[in-house]
Amino acid sequence: MVVTRFAPSPTGYLHIGGLRTALFSYLWARKNGGKFLLRIEDTDKARNSQEAADAILKAFEWLNLEHDGEIVYQSQRDDIYAKYINKLLDEGKAYKCYMSKEELAELREAQMANKERTKYNGKYRDFKGTPPDGVQPVIRIKAPLSGDIVVKDGVKGNVIFKAEDILDDFIIARADGSPTYNFVVAIDDHLMGVNEIIRGDDHLSNTPKQIVIYEALGFDVPSFYHVPMIHNSEGKKLSKRDGATDVMAYKEMGYTPEALLNFLVRLGWSYKDQEIFSMNEMKELFDPKNINKSASIYNTEKLDWLNSHYIKNTPNSELAKLLEQYGLLLASHDKKEILLDAIKERAKTLKEMSNLVYEIITTPTYYDEKAAKKSFKDNAIEILEAFSEKVSAAKELHLPSDYHHLMQEVVDEMEIGFGKIGQPLRIALLGKMSGPGLDSIMAIIGRDETLLRIYKAVEAHR
């Protein structure tokens, strides 16, 4: 059975790169009928934030990325880690190191002066004497001093590390007894049954150390897939300005979960020329062996395009529910269907949609000066007043076509082009030149509001 995991540290909010890793791990587990586990790596008590941990769970809930089993919190597993540290000590695979901070600093200075790689020199590796007074020891693992450590990576192929170049007897427990990152990761992945690890390639340098721990404890080494980073359009590390922000900020900006996940799955992975994937298609088609070896490029235009696609294809009843987060209560609006149909083709985000709705349902408080000057000239006021008379006299006005018919009557009777009525009417209705079809706007706001807006605009531009 394939068992994957996502293991964020709650020192900050879940960002876009972490979410992509979680998505890849989730899809691979689901494709294989396996398990997708969630572990909160909260051993850094000084930097951990419960608020950040809660935000991670909130993001998973919003995106419908369900995990299997209970969430594992590393901060609750100190007894387990201590057990394995003692096991390595008892078996002579780890040892207590009494080197003081001052000694370590002197060693590093000497190595740097000799242009050597700075590393621990193994002073206490086979120490049999009396421990020095006043030094609380750290625990170091006996790492191999020579040979190769091979990371069998499903994305990069075999990555070979020379033990003498990258390893010394690294610390697995600090002087206060707290275990280090690489140690607890290896322990937890084994005990949780994780056998396929998909993570960012910034973790690749940690992998040889984790393999040393797996092998020292007799654990099976899992399969690894190290995913290249996400870069901005200039090929540099993604910043907040580029999109490396809290995942929940994407909800606030008006992106749908479907669009965001579709966008992320295509950052570094592809299937033929397909761009739009449902969740079921992602689960069916995703394979980490097809992840690109090079970094992917974050493209806001692509995300906007995908989001507009999902908005256009979302039922209006569901769109109305999504727009409630912006204070819009449209579920019982009698012109909900006309309203949403009028704007869903124009909006890239739900937030943009909400702004368009407010522009339609709110009487303008100002008029675009430049556009109004261009539109309210010649006989524009006369045209609007003629149209108002027809709107007032009409027996039934419900559909956009009803209003369009009246506009056409004015155009025909006054022998003018459609723009002669369209431009000043748009200014009257919205206060600006852009927006949905005029007939749809009037059908949405109704007869009385249409007449009110025309009256106010005429009075303002006489």
Please write the tens of the pLDDT for every residue from 322-363: 999 999 888 878 889 999 999 999 999 999 999 999 999 999
| Residue 246 pLDDT | 87
- State mean pLDDT over 287-311: 95
pLDDT of 47: 73
- Which of 75-91 are b and which e, b meaning 16 or more Cβ less than 10 Å from the residue's Cβ? eebeeebeebbeebbee
Round to whole Å and give the CA distance between 225 and 159.
11
- pLDDT digit string, tens, across residues 421-453: 999 999 999 999 999 999 999 999 999 999 999
Query: How sure is the predictor about 40, in pLDDT bands with cuts at 50, 70 and 90?
Result: very high
- Does the annotation place 344 within a ligand binding site? no
The total of other beta-carbon atoms located within 10 Å of residue 444's CB is: 25
Given a contact cutoff of 8 angstroms between Cβ atoms, the answer to whether 11 and 52 are in contact is: yes
Residue 56, pLDDT > 70, answer yes
Instruction: List the single range of 46-55, 66-75, 252-261, 285-294 with lowest mean pLDDT.
Output: 46-55
Considering the candidates 83, 162, 237, 240, report the single residue annotated as catalytic: 240
Taking residues 211-219, report their average pLDDT: 97
What pLDDT shows up at residue 29? 98
User: Is position 101 annotated as part of the catalytic site?
Assistant: no
Torsion of CA 377, 381, 382, 384, to 10 degrees: 120
For residues 176 and 243, the model is more confident at 176
Q: What is the pLDDT of residue 50?
A: 82
pLDDT digits (tens, 9 = 90+) for 407-417: 999 999 999 99
Instruction: For domain 247-312, give the fold.
Output: Glutamyl-tRNA Synthetase; domain 2 (1.10.1160)
| Residue 256 CB-density burial (10 A; 0-12 exposed, 13-18 middle, 19+ buried) | buried
What's the rounded mean pLDDT across residues 114-124?
Answer: 87
**CATH fold for the domain made of 3-69+183-229:** Rossmann fold (3.40.50)
Please state the rounded mean pLDDT for residues 231-238. 85
Q: pTM for the full model?
A: 0.90
Q: Highest mean pLDDT: which of 24-38, 95-109, 125-139, 238-252?
A: 24-38
Closest CA relative to residue 292, chosen from 262, 274, 265: 265
pLDDT at 244 over 70: no
Six-digit token pair at 322?
């999504």
The pLDDT of residue 20 is above 90 = yes
pLDDT at position 297 is: 92
Query: Predicted confidence band at 106 (pLDDT cuts at 50, 70, 90)?
Result: confident
As a whole-number percent, the residues of the chain with pLDDT over 90 amount to: 79
Lowest-pLDDT range of 137-141, 158-162, 199-203, 244-248: 244-248
All structural domains of the chain with their residue ranges = 3-69+183-229, 78-173, 247-312, 315-358, 363-462
Average pLDDT of the segment spanning 108-118: 87
Overall average pLDDT of the 369-378 stretch: 90
Q: Percentage of the chain surpassing pLDDT 70? A: 99
Topology (CATH) of 363-462: Arc Repressor Mutant, subunit A (1.10.10)
* Mean pLDDT value across the chain: 93
Q: Bridge partners of 144?
A: none
CATH superfamily of 78-173: Glutamyl-tRNA Synthetase; Domain 3 (3.90.800.10)
